[in-house]
């Protein structure tokens, strides 16, 4: 037990130290790299907390999208404001102390509330786990997401779609291509893409399939697919279009349509709204959700209303 305690203390100290360096560091680029490292250590912490689902989400989003997104944002900042390179873009610092104190109070309150939680058998988690056999999936996270709290998951899909629409509403002018198409690219990029992009599709489908009985599922799978799209638009293989093509419009709403359609169908079939008639329905909805999660994430990254292959 003593040795695992050492591991946990090292990870906790590392997380706090990294977080401090990220927010208080002297240069923006350094903070971005440290934030990526923070995500790695955070995944290790989730693993130590027996939460492989969260570690997986951290891996898919953190390694696949956030790091590249921050670097691209940094690139835009430098392009927009080359003479301000030395600045760290930190806002006014006088807010730091009160915000820090309030956040500390909040964290303390949450920790105190967590300690007051009743132990034992009557919590919602225990009830959900006991009822898991009825859902047809053996992974409790997927069971809860799709069966016990279907409304939340459905509305989360709506939120993602709204985020995409909101980004389109405030985006101005021509889509900015984040790609490197205009400059000569390093020789290894093509080889890397031909290796990694098919693997993201394979791994995405594997995670979707694994989600039934192990950590995985639509969200992680969609994020991995989106990471493939991010890679393609970073390297200029996918370029922004002026409008969203019809197929991509359909894909954007596919998850909402399939999930709510299935839910309504069950309502009229005499069952409860959003109840799912078996494992096949869970996988069907999960597949639709995966696709409808992947596309808006990739489009948001590319700041584009739609994407098309280069040269088309």
Partner 1 sequence: MNTALSLAVIFLIINLAAGLVRVARGPSPEDRMLAALLFGSTTVAVLLILAQLMEIPALRDVALLFGLLAAIISVAFVALPADHDRDEEDSWR
How far is residue 284's CA from residue 241's CA, in Å, rounded to a whole number? 29
CB 102 to partner 1: min, Å: 28
- Give the number of other CB atoms < 10 A from CB of residue 142: 28
Considering the complex, state which of residue 161 and residue 193 has its C-beta at the smaller distance from partner 1.
Answer: 193
- Give the number of other CB atoms < 10 A from CB of residue 25: 17
Considering the complex, state which of residue 21 and residue 275 has its C-beta at the smaller distance from partner 1.
Answer: 21
CA dist 202 → 68, 207, 228, 246, 251 (Å):
21, 9, 11, 26, 19
CB 277 to partner 1: min, Å: 28
CB 35 to partner 1: min, Å: 10
- Give the HSE-up count for residue 42: Cα atoms under 13 Å, Cβ half-sphere: 19
Torsion of CA 141, 220, 156, 15, to 10 degrees: 90
Phi, psi of 84 (to 5 degrees): -100, 25
How far is residue 92's CA from residue 89's CA, in Å, rounded to a whole number? 9
CB 78 to partner 1: min, Å: 6
Among 15, 21, 250, 275, contact with partner 1 (rule: CB under 8 A) = 21
Ranges within 142-201 binding partner 1 (CB under 8 A): 178-180, 186, 189, 192, 196, 199-200
Ranges within 191-250 binding partner 1 (CB under 8 A): 192, 196, 199-200, 203, 207, 210, 214-216, 220, 224, 227, 230-231, 234-235
How far is residue 13's CA from residue 9's CA, in Å, rounded to a whole number? 6
Considering the complex, state which of residue 256 and residue 302 has its C-beta at the smaller distance from partner 1.
Answer: 302
Ranges within 47-66 binding partner 1 (CB under 8 A): 47-48, 50, 52-53, 55-56, 59-60, 63-64
CB 211 to partner 1: min, Å: 10
Q: What is the DSSP string of 261-282?
A: HHHHHHHHTTS-TT---SHHHH
Tokens of 281: 């329905």
**Which stretch in 7-15, 167-175, 246-254, 266-274 sits in contact with partner 1 by CB under 8 A?**
7-15
Residue 87 — left, alpha, or beta (φ > 0 → left; ψ -120 to 50 → alpha)? beta
The burial class, CB within 10 Å (0-12 / 13-18 / 19+), for 156 is middle
The number of residues that bind partner 1 (CB under 8 A) is 65
CB 255 to partner 1: min, Å: 21
Considering the complex, state which of residue 237 and residue 254 has its C-beta at the smaller distance from partner 1.
Answer: 237
Tokens of 180: 């490197």
Residue ranges in contact with partner 1 by CB under 8 A: 3-4, 6-7, 10-11, 14, 18, 21, 27-30, 33-34, 36-37, 40-41, 43-44, 47-48, 50, 52-53, 55-56, 59-60, 63-64, 67-68, 71-72, 74-75, 78-79, 85-87, 178-180, 186, 189, 192, 196, 199-200, 203, 207, 210, 214-216, 220, 224, 227, 230-231, 234-235
């Amino acid at each position: 037990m003593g040795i695992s305690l050492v591991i946990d203390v090292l990870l906790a100290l590392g997380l706090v130290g990294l977080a401090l360096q990220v927010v208080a560091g002297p240069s923006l680029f350094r903070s971005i790299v440290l934030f990526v490292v923070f995500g790695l250590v955070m995944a290790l912490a989730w693993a130590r907390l027996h939460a492989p689902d969260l570690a997986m989400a951290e891996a898919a989003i953190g390694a696949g999208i956030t790091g590249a997104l921050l670097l691209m944002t940094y690139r835009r900042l430098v392009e927009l404001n080359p003479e301000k390179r030395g600045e760290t873009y930190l806002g006014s610092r006088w807010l730091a102390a009160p915000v820090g104190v309030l956040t500390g109070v909040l964290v303390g309150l949450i920790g105190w509330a967590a300690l007051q939680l009743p132990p034992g058998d009557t919590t919602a988690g225990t009830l959900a786990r006991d009822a898991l056999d009825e859902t047809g999936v053996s992974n409790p996270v997927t069971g809860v997401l799709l069966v016990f709290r279907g409304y939340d998951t459905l509305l989360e899909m709506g939120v993602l779609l709204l985020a995409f629409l909101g980004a389109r509403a405030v985006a101005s002018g021509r889509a900015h291509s984040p790609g490197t198409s205009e400059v000569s690219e390093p020789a290894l990029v093509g080889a890397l893409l031909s290796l990694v992009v098919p693997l993201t599709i394979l791994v995405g489908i594997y995670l979707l399939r694994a989600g039934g009985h192990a950590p995985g599922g639509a969200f992680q799978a969609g994020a991995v697919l989106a990471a493939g799209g991010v890679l393609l638009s970073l390297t200029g293989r996918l370029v922004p279009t002026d409008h969203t093509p019809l197929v991509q419009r359909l894909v954007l709403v596919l998850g909402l349509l399939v999930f709510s359609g299935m839910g309504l169908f069950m309502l009229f079939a005499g069952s409860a709204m959003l109840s799912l008639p078996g494992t096949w329905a869970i996988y069907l909805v999960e597949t639709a959700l995966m696709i409808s999660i992947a596309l808006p994430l990739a489009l948001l990254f590319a700041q584009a209303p739609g994407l098309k292959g280069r040269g088309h």
